[in-house]
């Protein structure tokens, strides 16, 4: 929809420019800035653990330093892959603690307006680890609101509050900071961590899930998105010890 609107606006401004009604077609500037962002992303390259993705050790330290007020929502973000808008729009009717799963059916935008997930794939069911179930069960006893993570007035939570009052102070307390002593990660990095946790081998503390299942958990509209963003995190198939073990199973004795 955004692309359609920009295209239409660009055509209108081009016509107005020919008539001398406007001096500059502002849409052309938008296009250049967009290409600049894409070039910057290509320059940055692949997501890196410890740079773009919190390491398991950093996650453990952050969890240990979360305040009681923000612990439920941050821990849920870590272990479910929900986007910030999906976390903020999560209602108790879509959380099945007995079945250890939650259903993503709504999201709250930056204006706190409720709506459907950003794509059809965004509507998904995500399993809950046992420890998270316990955290949410305890949290349920403290809130009678419709939203799982409400404000004091019972409304959908504000993104800035989650980040500046919850996630960033926990990083500072856990010493997960950059060279300037500022919080190292944005809230979206927790989605990256969840993807890496799903991909990592079981012996490394991960879930070792196939790419298609990672796509489903993340709510990506295309498996190409998942592969382009996280494909490099999958363990190499030519690991020496594993290759030797596989070979021995096939080599005649």
Lowest pLDDT segment from 116-130, 166-180, 231-245? 231-245
7-51 per-position pLDDT tens digit: 778 777 766 655 556 666 777 666 444 444 444 444 457 899 999
pLDDT of res. 42: 45
Taking all residues of the chain, what is their mean pLDDT, rounded to a whole number? 87
82-100 per-position pLDDT tens digit: 999 999 999 999 999 999 9
* Prediction pTM value: 0.76
Residue 103 and residue 32: Cα distance in Å, rounded?
39
Higher-pLDDT residue of 241 and 216 is 216
pLDDT of res. 149: 96
CA angle 56, 79, 145 (to 5 degrees): 140
Identify whether the C-beta of residue 19 lies closer than 8 Å to the C-beta of residue 25.
no
Residue 192 exposed, middle or buried by CB count within 10 Å (0-12, 13-18, 19+): buried
pLDDT of res. 251: 80
Share of the chain above pLDDT 70, in %: 84
pLDDT of res. 24: 65
CA angle 104, 74, 218 (to 5 degrees): 40
Residue 215 and residue 217: Cα distance in Å, rounded?
6
219-233 per-position pLDDT tens digit: 999 999 999 999 999
* Element of type H or E holding 170: helix 168-173
Residue 135 and residue 75: Cα distance in Å, rounded?
8
Domains of the chain (ranges plus CATH)? Answer: 56-233 (1.10.443.10)
CA angle 35, 218, 145 (to 5 degrees): 110
């Amino acid at each position: 929809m955004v692309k359609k609107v920009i295209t239409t606006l660009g055509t209108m401004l081009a016509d107005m420019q020919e008539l001398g009604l406007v001096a500059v077609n502002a849409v052309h500037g938008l296009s250049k800035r967009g290409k600049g962002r894409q070039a910057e992303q290509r320059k940055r390259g692949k997501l890196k653990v410890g740079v773009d993705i919190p390491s398991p050790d950093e996650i453990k330290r952050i969890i240990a330093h979360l305040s009681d007020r923000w612990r439920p929502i941050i821990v849920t973000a870590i272990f479910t892959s929900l986007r910030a808008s999906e976390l903020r729009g999560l209602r108790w009717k879509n959380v099945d603690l007995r079945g250890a799963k939650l259903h993503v059916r709504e999201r709250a935008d930056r204006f706190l307006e409720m709506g459907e997930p950003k794509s059809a794939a965004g509507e998904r069911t995500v399993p809950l680890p046992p420890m998270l179930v316990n955290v949410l069960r305890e949290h349920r006893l403290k809130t009678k609101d419709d939203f799982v993570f409400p404000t004091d007035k019972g409304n959908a939570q504000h993104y800035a509050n989650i980040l500046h009052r919850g996630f960033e102070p926990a990083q500072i307390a856990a010493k997960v900071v950059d060279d300037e002593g500022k919080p190292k990660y944005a809230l979206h990095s927790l989605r990256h961590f969840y993807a890496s946790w799903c991909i990592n081998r079981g012996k490394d503390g991960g879930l070792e899930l196939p790419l298609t299942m990672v796509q489903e958990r993340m709510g990506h509209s295309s498996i190409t998105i998942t592969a382009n963003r996280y494909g490099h995190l999958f363990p190499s198939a030519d690991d020496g010890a594993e290759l030797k073990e596989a070979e021995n199973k096939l080599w005649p004795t």
